[in-house]
Amino acid sequence: MDASPQSEPPNEYSSDAPPAVAVDGLEKQYGSGDDAVRAVDGVSFEVDPGTAVGLLGPNGAGKTTTIKSLLALIVPTAGTVRIDGVDVHDRPGDAYERMGAMLEGARNVYWRLTVRENVRFFSALAGNEPNEREARHDELLAQFGLADEADTPVRELSRGQKQKVSLACTMARDADVVFLDEPTLGLDVESSLELRRELRSLVEDDGVTVLLSSHDMDVIEAVCDRVVIMNEGRVVADDTVDDLLNLFNAQVYEVTVAESLGDDVREQLRSAFGVESFDARADGTRFRVHVTGDEFYEVVETLRSAELSVRSFDTVEPDLEEVFLRVTERSDEADASGDDADAPPVSRGVSR
């Protein structure tokens, strides 16, 4: 997995500048009465200019509704959204001049137009004079491997190429804030790696603000400075990538024992420590266990009492996918028990 970015993006902004993205008390409810569904429930967060933030959540978490509210494609039930200090619902025209977006799916561009015509069109929508931006357009086409298809109608391209066209058109707006929903969908490995580098360059070199939603944790970890995790319509974690990884550091162990595990021991490990699967091997059994504090010693005692021989007890360094699963599982457990329903999200030193 690519390492998460360590360097701080250049700060070319005044400390008095408003956040690039400011979401305050966002709610969206569909229906009314007993049939009402609250897709977004009091979401608040801010994104500083010139940073990249990942927006994560399982299916149904409310992240797509949140993104569409940020883009004024959905009118929220309550709350406000501001881009560079501009309320997107009161002044959508002014807000659109400051942002670009690529939503999941292939219908982000016009299939009857050629690749170059699409890039020129979306650049013009942002107020640019296309004829004065030819060099930039050629640069984008080369960057995404589309130079040879510049005069080809988009409908004749592969799914991955259409995705690249969508990205090129988003970048052609030269916006201050860019929203990307599953930007690597349909891209091959080489193109995905190149996109990660380009996105980090936009943030670090050009000061562009990126809000990125993706199920590809490698992309999130490689590109983003910070992660906001949603579950059940609420923010359940908001922190830097490094701090979220450190939050669960040394709490995951891979255990290998020399014997096969009986059903009673497996059930004990499942119920007491949440072990989900056991890998039966010729030389014994391997499993992963999540522990905190003295639970480590409780696992050891459980194995000793069952007269099992421990071959290894290795610390597993967590990756962002592991953290995401742990945070959402903890949120689900809290909802099920009714405990800490109003507890603040995980946060360890995030600015603003």
CA distances from 145 to 185, 194, 205 (A): 16, 10, 22
Amino acid 218 reads D
Q: When comparing pLDDT for 100 and 195, which is higher?
A: 100
125: pLDDT strictly greater than 90: no
Query: What is the mean predicted confidence (pLDDT) over 270-286?
Result: 89
Among 6-15, 276-285, 297-306, 335-344, the range scoring the smallest mean pLDDT is: 6-15
Among 8-12, 178-182, 249-253, 339-343, the range scoring the smallest mean pLDDT is: 8-12
Query: What is the mean predicted confidence (pLDDT) over 177-197?
Result: 84
Q: What is the pTM of this model?
A: 0.70
CA distances from 216 to 178, 227, 228, 252, 260 (A): 18, 13, 15, 22, 35
Q: What is the mean pLDDT of the chain?
A: 84
- State residue 161's pLDDT score: 86
Query: What is the mean predicted confidence (pLDDT) over 198-210?
Result: 88
205: pLDDT strictly greater than 90: no
End-to-end CA distance of the chain: 29
Task: Report pLDDT digits (tens) over 29-85.
Answer: 998 888 889 999 999 999 999 999 999 988 889 998 999 999 999 999 999 999 999
Contact between 328 and 220 (Cβ < 8 Å): no
Task: Report pLDDT digits (tens) over 322-349.
Answer: 777 777 776 666 666 665 545 555 554 4
Among 111-115, 153-157, 297-301, the range scoring the smallest mean pLDDT is: 297-301
d(CA 232, CA 38): 9
177: pLDDT strictly greater than 80: yes
Tokens 């979306």 belong to residue: 122
- State residue 350's pLDDT score: 43
Say what percent of the chain tops pLDDT 90: 46
Domain ranges of the chain: 21-239, 250-315
Tokens 């940073």 belong to residue: 51
247: pLDDT strictly greater than 50: yes
CATH numeric code, 21-239: 3.40.50.300
CATH numeric code, 250-315: 3.30.70.260
Structural tokens at position 218: 């490698």
Nearest to 160 by CA among 194, 131, 135: 194
Where residue 91 falls among pLDDT bands split at 50, 70, 90?
very high
100: pLDDT strictly greater than 70: yes
- State residue 328's pLDDT score: 78
Which value, to the nearest 10 degrees, does the dihedral of the CA atoms of residues 253, 2, 52, 328 take? Answer: -30
Where residue 244 falls among pLDDT bands split at 50, 70, 90?
confident
